[in-house]
């Protein structure tokens, strides 16, 4: 792959530092969504939910609004393990999903490529390769305080070899197609989660089927809110719901209980003496709270390892199929978005969780019901209050988790709920695992494509 050397500065038509603005409405300021370095990975996958809203001076916003085709680069705020210089490409999808104009934060800047000089998508991938290879490290400095990326020096002096435009387009299309598939899976998982939560809310929080029965509805399809269009299948489920309300406003025969009273199995992992050796590259995998992102989004790439001798001494905290995992201590105690459901297949023969995670199992509730129950307000709010009542060190013990009360519909409905939604969960878990494989493949291909070590024909056969 023939390449020409050029500098980043010579490839741009416009670039500016970002803005942070004000947190309150101010005359002469306009509302915008601000992209920080910490948001890069999420918005790359089309998730803008974490972007803060800030008020940016209107005349500045006009010059610094981000558009499709721009690349953002982080210029401050990195750490030793995650140096500055990360980048993200702004697609039209990201622009379309934004509710307000987008700007980057003051610890970043946007790069607007000259399309006559470089394909914008390729420039992003090129910068990704330079960052991942750590060739940018000489421009990452940290004396005291915040680490910074010496952008001006990097842009003016660092040579970026570029192949022909034709090759740029093909490489960008190939790598972009992998990202598109990852985004498609992520959006599908988002939909599957919404569906499962909606059914849980209707059945066990709003008591929808019982309310419709009590109001005189007899059509089983309507009783279930149109969830199952087949009358025969709908009738089997509708028959499980009471047709009236009893004491405390609950469906007849339902009652309040606690997690401990339904035979909850709860255990956590253990910590090696002196803590986990982060330099250990093999052994028995151990995953922690930092890996929990919800169903289909459990991040096995953050796994650490413990030695075999320590693992043999541990009897609890070993992950089983469909275990539910929650944080047991730290700032995210009780956060419903930090409840994970493991699948039935794992990338390891066996692995454990560390001391910061609880594993939960209940045959009486079923894992699908238990998973969504732990995300529900009646449980998550109580866990958050219990965990954060300890100001010095937020955390939960087993007794506190088991004390959480909820409305129990009985094992038959819990089983029926699991039979309905677990296929959705399984698909989400499969998509999540596929996404991690796709990301690993993309990361493997990137440096080889950029260096010309493999040709595009070989790369296309690998995905």
What is the rounded distance in angstroms from the CA atom of residue 290 to the CA atom of residue 268?
Answer: 15
Spatial distance between the Cα atoms of 50 and 56, rounded to a whole number of angstroms: 18
Asked whether the predicted pLDDT for residue 102 surpasses 60, the reply is yes
- Reported as a pLDDT band with limits 50, 70 and 90, residue 399 is very high
- What are 326's two structure tokens? 């929650």
**Quick check: 191 pLDDT over 90?**
yes
Asked whether 376 and 170 are in contact (CB, 8 A), the reply is: no
User: For the chain, first and last CA: distance in Å?
Assistant: 21
Matching CATH topology for 9-162 and 259-397? yes
The per-residue pLDDT for 181 is 94
* Whole-number pLDDT of residue 460: 57
The CA-atom distances, in angstroms, between 343 and each of 293, 337, 430, 431, 434 are: 13, 17, 8, 11, 13
| Closest CA relative to residue 237, chosen from 199, 282, 285 | 199
What was the pLDDT predicted at 1? 44
For range 375-388, the mean pLDDT:
86
Q: Give me the pLDDT at residue 87, please.
A: 96
What is the predicted pLDDT for the residue at 328?
Answer: 87
pLDDT above 70 covers what percent of the chain?
Answer: 95
Contact at 8 Å (CB) between 407 and 204? yes
Window from 121-135, 245-259, 289-303, 341-355 with minimum mean pLDDT: 289-303
Q: Are 239 and 413 in contact (CB under 8 A)?
A: no
Distance between CA 48 and CA 439 in Å, rounded? 20
Sketch the domain layout of the chain as residue ranges: 9-162, 189-255+413-418, 259-397
**Per-residue confidence band for 457, with pLDDT thresholds at 50, 70 and 90:** low
Alpha carbons 341 and 189: distance in angstroms, whole number? 13
Q: pLDDT band at residue 282, thresholds of 50, 70 and 90?
A: confident
What is the rounded distance in angstroms from the CA atom of residue 426 to the CA atom of residue 192? 10
Predicted pLDDT of residue 296: 62
Mean pLDDT of 142-168: 90
Bridge partners, residue 325, by sequence: 340, 359
Average pLDDT (360-373) is 96
Residue 108 has a pLDDT of 96
Contacts with 361 (C-beta within 8 Å, 6 or more apart), sequence order: 264, 265, 266, 320, 323, 324, 367, 370
Which pLDDT belongs to residue 402? 94
65 contacts 103 by C-beta, under 8 angstroms: yes
Mean pLDDT of the region 152-164: 94
Q: How far is CA 333 from CA 47, 192, 197, 374, 403, in A?
A: 23, 25, 20, 12, 15
CA–CA distances in Å: residue 427 to residues 188, 189, 194, 251, 295: 9, 8, 14, 32, 10
Mean pLDDT of the chain: 90
Q: Say which CATH superfamily domain 259-397 falls into.
A: DNA methylase specificity domains (3.90.220.20)
Q: What is the mean pLDDT of residues 382-388?
A: 85
Range in 126-135, 176-185, 216-225, 344-353 the model is least confident about: 344-353
| Dihedral angle computed from the Cα positions of residues 289, 290, 293 and 295, in that order, rounded to the nearest 10 degrees | -50
Q: Decide: 255 and 321 in contact? Cβ < 8 Å.
A: no
pLDDT, one tens digit per residue, over 202-254 is 999 999 999 999 999 999 999 999 999 999 999 999 999 999 999 889 999 99
User: Can you give the C-alpha Rg of the chain in angstroms?
Assistant: 26
> In the structure, what pLDDT confidence band is assigned to residue 299 with cuts at 50, 70 and 90?
confident
* Dist. CA 113–CA 120, nearest whole Å: 6
- C-alpha–C-alpha distance, residues 73 and 88, integer Å: 7
State which fold the 9-162 domain adopts.
Answer: Adenine-n6-DNA-methyltransferase TaqI; Chain A, domain 2 (3.90.220)
- At 458 the pLDDT is 56
CA nearest to 321, candidates 288, 289, 361: 361
């Amino acid at each position: 792959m023939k390449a020409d050397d050029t500098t980043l500065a010579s490839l741009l038509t416009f670039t500016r530092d970002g803005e942070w603005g004000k947190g309150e409405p101010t005359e002469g300021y306009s509302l915008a969504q601000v992209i920080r370095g910490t948001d890069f990975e999420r918005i790359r996958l089309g998730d803008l939910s974490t972007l803060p809203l800030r008020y940016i001076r209107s005349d500045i916003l006009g010059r610094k609004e981000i558009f499709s085709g721009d690349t953002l680069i982080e210029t401050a705020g990195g750490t030793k393990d995650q140096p500055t210089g990360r980048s993200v490409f702004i697609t039209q999808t990201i622009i379309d999903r934004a509710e307000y104009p987008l700007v980057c934060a003051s610890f970043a800047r946007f790069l607007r490529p000259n399309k006559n000089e470089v394909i914008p998508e390729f420039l992003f991938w090129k910068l990704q390769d330079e960052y991942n290879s750590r060739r940018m490290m000489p421009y990452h400095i940290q004396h005291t305080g915040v680490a910074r990326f010496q952008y001006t020096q990097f842009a003016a002096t660092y040579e970026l070899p570029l192949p022909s435009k034709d090759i740029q387009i093909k490489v960008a299309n190939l790598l972009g197609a992998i990202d598109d598939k990852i985004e498609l899976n992520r959006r599908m998982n988002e939909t599957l989660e919404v569906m499962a939560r909606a059914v849980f809310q209707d059945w066990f929080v709003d008591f929808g089927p019982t309310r419709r029965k009590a109001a005189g509805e007899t059509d089983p399809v309507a009783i279930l809110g149109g969830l199952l269009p087949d009358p025969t299948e709908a009738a089997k489920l509708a028959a499980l719901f009471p047709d009236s309300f009893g004491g405390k406003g609950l469906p007849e025969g339902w009652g309040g209980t606690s997690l401990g009273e339904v035979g909850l199995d709860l255990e956590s992992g253990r910590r090696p003496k002196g803590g986990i050796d982060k330099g250990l590259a093999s052994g028995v995998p151990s995953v922690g709270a930092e890996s929990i992102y919800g169903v289909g989004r459990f991040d096995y790439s953050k796994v650490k390892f413990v030695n075999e001798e320590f693992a043999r001494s541990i009897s609890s905290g070993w992950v089983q199929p469909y275990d539910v995992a929650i944080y047991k201590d730290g700032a995210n105690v009780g956060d419903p978005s930090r409840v994970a459901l493991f699948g039935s297949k794992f990338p390891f023969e066996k692995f454990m969780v560390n001391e910061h995670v609880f594993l939960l199992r209940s045959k009486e509730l079923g894992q699908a019901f238990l998973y969504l129950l732990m995300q529900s307000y009646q449980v998550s709010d109580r866990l958050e209050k219990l965990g954060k009542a300890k100001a010095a060190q937020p955390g939960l013990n087993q007794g506190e988790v088991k004390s959480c009360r909820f409305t129990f519909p009985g094992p038959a409905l819990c089983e029926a709920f699991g039979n309905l939604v677990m296929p959705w969960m399984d698909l989400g878990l499969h998509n999540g695992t596929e996404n991690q494989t796709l990301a690993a493949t993309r990361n493997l291909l990137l440096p080889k494509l950029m260096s010309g070590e493999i040709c595009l024909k070989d790369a296309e056969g690998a995905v």
